[in-house]
Amino acid sequence: MDASMPHRLELIGITKQFPGVLANDNISFSVRPGEIHALLGENGAGKSTLVKMIYGIMQPDAGEIRWNGERVTIANPKAARALGIGMVFQHFSLFEALTVLENIALGMDAKIPARELEGRIREVMTRYGLLLDPHRTVATLSVGERQRIEIVRALLLDPKLLIMDEPTSVLTPQEVEQLFDVLRKLAAQGCSILYISHKLHEIKALCDTATILRGGKLVDTCDPRQETSRSMAEKMIGGGLKDLVKARDRVFGEPRLHVNGLSMPAPDHFGTALKNVCFTVRAGEIFGIAGVAGNGQNELLLAMDGELPTDPSAIKLGDLPAGAMSPSARRRHGLSSVPEERNGHGAVGVFSLSDNSVLTARERPGMVNMGFINFGAAKTYTRKVIADFSVKALGAGSTAGSLSGGNLQKYIMGREILQRPSVLVVSQPTWGVDAGAAAAIHQAILDLAEAGSAIVVISQDLDELLSLSDTLAVINGGQLSPKMQVGDASIEEIGLLMGGVHGNTEAPDAIPA
């Protein structure tokens, strides 16, 4: 990395205005050849807007982009790719029913005969240890394998700058290590990498430089290896980070939720069968379930909240067999649940918050009288949720769909928690939620446990589970590992359990030693 070489990419005073928001305000930074540069910030800090301009999806209102020292205008993604800019998106633009090869062919600008393309794909795959069968249908691949397709697609164009948008949010720790190996290899060959993330320890482990954005402004450009995770987090959220208040050595009460030998066939073609799942959660205990998406988490949640009935004795609330109960019957007996999908499953987007409260909270806080809705009570309850959980909403009458993801999640969590459930089941409590809202949701879960509820948290975010839960198990291919104390669990072991069937089995030689 010679300092006299021109910068691979240089942004000077980039500004982008959206109606009502200044998404990027006079942003300037540069990336050297072979540098791994982190772009750090909360949701809404302007990271996506910035990279969209670098990749030609949007145009800046002011400022200039320099590529290898020369001023350029990147009119569209095709122009970006022609310059040598590749991008791996957070949400893969893949076609499930098509094969790996067909997917890659669709994303190529040049028409290359299928056989020649396959040869080049195999060459890139072996060079970077990204092993995949080009003739597999995408629907049969794990998320990590799908990401490899996107990376191979970008690498086929021999990029000089690779933009990675939150690439690790869905990977196991081992898959993350594999990915980092690939990225380091690329960087060593002179390819620059712009790495977008909000996971600080990853940035410390991987990146040479970090540019931190907050509210559309550049806050700092620093060397992440010189910073602590905490100092970077504070720059990111612009204030002191609140610590989670978690009492040490808590004593748990009597068992509240028993899941005993729960087996269930897959509900549909893409689902996962549950195999003899057993666990018990006691009053005051937070039980975390880790795992890569699609390993039976959804099915387990649906079985617990009553959307998929099971054998009556497979699920017990206290001593009460609840496996065959309907979701509302379970709610009456004190079980609340928050599904992963906020809009459409957790809440009805076109309904007001007040109406959404009636949907799940009608029984316990008494919003329904002889079949008639007591709208006053529903409004009062909703206002309490909005106030207690600092939901940013115009009022109980605003529609659920008008709230941002984080605010809707705070509302849904609040709606369930204020019912004082004896058992709460939550899936992905902070998925796509900014750090401030996430901290508030975590604290609310801890407080509920403190008050004596038994809580199950299903999450793909291992850091979240390690900081939140008391006990932990890993789900893989519909099987749940034995329960372990969080204090005793090693990340390595958890990672291996998570990877059990998916991902690594086909490319064992790609696992770093």
Partner 1 sequence: MDLTLAIIVTVVGASTPILIAALGELVVERSGVLNLGVEGMMLIGAIAGFVVQFHTGNPYLALLCGAAAGMASSLIFGFLTLSLSANQTATGLALTIFGTGFSALAGSSYSARPVSLMEPLFPAELAAHPVWKVLFSYSFPVYFSFIMVVVIWYFLHKTRAGLILRAVGENDQSAHSIGYSVIGVRYMAVMFGGAMAGLAGACFPLLLTPQWAERMTAGRGWIAVALVVFASWKPFRLLAGAYLFGLVMTMELYAKAGGGVLSIIPSELWAALPYIATIVVLVLISLRRDASTNAPACLGKPFLPSN
- Write out the residues near partner 1 by the rule CB under 8 A: 57, 76-78, 93-98, 102, 105-107, 111, 139, 268-270
Of 95 and 375, which has the nearer Cβ to partner 1? 95
User: What DSSP line would sit under 433-471, residue for residue?
Assistant: --HHHHHHHHHHHHHHHHTT-EEEEE-S-HHHHHHH-SE
Distance CA 379, CA 376 (A): 5
Torsion angle, alpha carbons of 396, 402, 404, 407, to 10: 10
Of 97 and 513, which has the nearer Cβ to partner 1? 97
Distance CA 171, CA 495 (A): 10
Of 111 and 248, which has the nearer Cβ to partner 1? 111
Q: Provide, rounded to whole angstroms, the least separation between the CB of residue 165 and partner 1.
A: 13
Q: Provide, rounded to whole angstroms, the least separation between the CB of residue 384 and partner 1.
A: 35
- For strands 315-317 and 320-321, give the pairing: antiparallel
Distances (CA, A) of 131 to 121, 146, 342: 10, 11, 35
Distances (CA, A) of 40 to 63, 110, 200, 230, 329: 21, 34, 8, 13, 45
Of 84 and 436, which has the nearer Cβ to partner 1? 84
Of 238 and 267, which has the nearer Cβ to partner 1? 267
Distances (CA, A) of 210 to 27, 36, 170, 194: 14, 9, 22, 10
Of 117 and 233, which has the nearer Cβ to partner 1? 117
Q: Are 174 and 166 in contact (CB under 8 A)?
A: no
Distance CA 85, CA 163 (A): 8
Q: Provide, rounded to whole angstroms, the least separation between the CB of residue 344 and partner 1.
A: 15
Q: Provide, rounded to whole angstroms, the least separation between the CB of residue 175 and partner 1.
A: 22
**Diameter of the chain by CA atoms?**
79
Q: Provide, rounded to whole angstroms, the least separation between the CB of residue 78 and partner 1.
A: 7
Q: Provide, rounded to whole angstroms, the least separation between the CB of residue 95 and partner 1.
A: 4
Q: Provide, rounded to whole angstroms, the least separation between the CB of residue 327 and partner 1.
A: 24
Of 91 and 248, which has the nearer Cβ to partner 1? 91
Token pair listed for 344: 């459409």
